[in-house]
Amino acid sequence: MDDYDNFSSFYSLFDDSALFKQIEQLHQPVADHIYIIPLYNLIENMLRLSNASYTVTPFLEIQLNSEVSNSSVHDTTLKVLKILQNFSWDVKVVIAVAAAALICGSSWLRDQLKDSNSLAIALTRFREQLRVDEGADKNQFDATVKLITEALEATKCILDFGELANITNIQDPDAEKEVKDVMRDFPIAAYLVIRSAVLAAAHTANMSYDLISATAQLKKLEKISLTGDALIKFFKDDWNFHGKPMVVVLDPRGKIVNSNAIHMMWIWKNQAFPFNCAREEVLWEQETWSLELLVDAIDQNILQWRKKYILLYGGDDLEWIRQFTNEARAVARTLRIPLEMVYVGGSHNKENVQRICDSIIMEQLSHCWQEQDSVWYFWTRIESMIYSKIQLGNLYDHADTIWQEIQKLHSHDKSHSGWVVLAKGSRIVVHGQGKVAMNTLQELEEWKKLAITDGFDVGFGNHYMKLHMEEYPCHRIQFPSGMRIPRSMPCPDCRSPMHINKSFLCCHEDHIAEAADVLAAATDQVDQYEA
């Protein structure tokens, strides 16, 4: 019992009645008993470098990773207790330690196997492009691993007493009293074990940042003021930096291999590595004009509607939205087709987009993206695609469907007019003006037979193209100041050279920037092509 006595004397230092009450309030276990021993054994095997595969509490792992840097250890521990409030004390601690072990696992594997398993270290180095230094870094990893290991030992104590508590016929009265006494201390014991897991996760996160800062090719200027006016002028003049985030990629010799790779990150995230132009061309060759490209992982529901017709739409006119969605729903009922509609907003006037979205939800007109971050990300990716195509010099590739379509989408957004994208599953059938799409729906009788025989997508698409050819819309492609713009641009519809125009624009949204940039934002110059 010495180990248990030592542990008891340690956590008695934290025995505060207010804390105890706080922990108790976060304990609301359900009646079902969960047999947690296999998960505990799995953690032990992980810590002993077992080859066993595992998938444990990804949500809690994400919570630990994200919370520890933004909150105190105590606050994060209470948040974890709240997440696990429906579990018994022994299950709580095992899950928390498992999550911490997963967070620390990659770094520890790299450190432990650097001599004994060349394949493992090669894979982990490839994954993170980091190298664990000897000395101080190794000591830090060892300390973190030791903390998790000792938390696991404390967890074993809780598990053992939990098993004893389930035995209803303990013969020895003294033993029974001892078990009950220890169980009264379970809340504080569980708090301390989970607190240790949080500390381990926080320590690993800090070490990862330090390692990246010290060894990775990605560098952060901690104090830009110390770099001098000359370097800042170089950033502005040679790298075309004008306040918006950018990522300039250099090779090991310091040669620029991509003047701004941030658009690659928005489009493909980590698939864009190593962020050079060759990789960019390969990624574009793999893409097709589809819903997967448009919505990415913004809305998983859309990608699951594979057997339905899908209408993405946008625009600032709420009355048009009401008419369009009602007309589309009526056509779907007439043709008896499964149809889903999603409003994706616009790149400007966030308040108006939010008001429209609120009305759509209240009136049950269609689905919409209620998170403004989703709307922002959608349009940022569209703008990034345009920049990427321009940077690669694909302006006059008339066979590039993606390039033509993203220009149209960008133009519809900048004109504030309604627009639609009709897809059957992931395949995009029609993309164009909302006005023409509305007329197409209203003239259902002219293409109804074709829709019944060949499908809604064929009937709608053919009639839309017929109306579209009668009147091409004007297109406008805008480039924010600071972006390198081409000398000429072909129209995405008629392929004629577009006229260049310059204007000044203020959308009143840039005024949340730093005070020094307010005046500049108010007269932000915009270059644009019109056709």
Band of pLDDT at residue 154, cut at 50, 70 and 90 = confident
Contact 67, 83 (CB under 8 A): no
Whether pLDDT at 247 is above 60: yes
Q: What is the DSSP string of 277-315?
A: HHHHHHHHHH--SBHHHHHTTS-HHHHH-TTSEEEEEE-
Among the listed residues 92, 157, 93, the one whose alpha carbon sits nearest the alpha carbon of residue 165? 157
Of residues 257 and 319, more confidence is placed in 319
Strands (E), 189-338: 249-250, 256-258, 309-314
Whether pLDDT at 465 is above 70: yes
pLDDT for position 357:
92
**In Å, what is the CA distance from 246 to each residue of 87, 249, 265, 478?**
46, 10, 10, 19
Among the listed residues 413, 285, 268, 435, the one whose alpha carbon sits nearest the alpha carbon of residue 349? 413
pLDDT for position 339:
94
Q: Report how far residue 324's alpha carbon sits from residue 439's, in angstroms, rounded to the nearest whole number.
A: 10
Of residues 318 and 194, more confidence is placed in 318
Among the listed residues 242, 157, 140, the one whose alpha carbon sits nearest the alpha carbon of residue 192? 157
pLDDT for position 365:
95
pLDDT for position 413:
83
Q: Report how far residue 435's alpha carbon sits from residue 100's, in angstroms, rounded to the nearest whole number.
A: 55
Whether pLDDT at 213 is above 60: no
Band of pLDDT at residue 172, cut at 50, 70 and 90 = low
Side chain identity at residue 323, one-letter code: Q
pLDDT for position 91:
81
Angle, CA 51 vertex, CA 45 and CA 52 arms, to 5°: 65
At 307-363, the pLDDT tens digits run 899 999 998 899 999 999 999 999 999 999 999 999 999 888 788 899 999 999 999
Q: Report how far residue 194's alpha carbon sits from residue 27's, in angstroms, rounded to the nearest whole number.
A: 14
Contact 275, 264 (CB under 8 A): yes
| Residue 249 structure tokens | 């990629």
- CA atoms within a 13 Å half-sphere pointing along the CA-CB vector of 70: 6
pLDDT for position 16:
61
Whether pLDDT at 461 is above 80: yes
Strands of the 309-314 sheet, one edge to the other: 367-368, 339-343, 309-314, 419-424, 427-433
> Maximum CA pair distance of the chain?
94
Q: What is the DSSP string of 49-98?
A: T--------HHHHHHHHHHTTTS-HHHHHHHHHHHTTTS-HHHHHHHHHH
* Average pLDDT, integer, range 196-208: 71
Mean pLDDT of the chain: 73
Among 124-133, 261-270, 391-400, the range of highest mean pLDDT: 261-270
pLDDT for position 395:
64
Q: Report how far residue 158's alpha carbon sits from residue 164's, in angstroms, rounded to the nearest whole number.
A: 10
* Average pLDDT, integer, range 117-144: 46
pLDDT for position 371:
83
At 395-414, the pLDDT tens digits run 666 678 898 888 888 888 88
Beta bridge partners of 500: 529
The three-state (H, E, C) secondary structure of 361-419, written as one string: HHHCCCEECCCHHHHHHHHHHHHHHHHHHHHHCCCCCCCCHHHHHHHHHHHHHHCCCCE
At 19-66, the pLDDT tens digits run 777 777 777 777 566 766 777 677 666 665 433 333 444 444 444 555
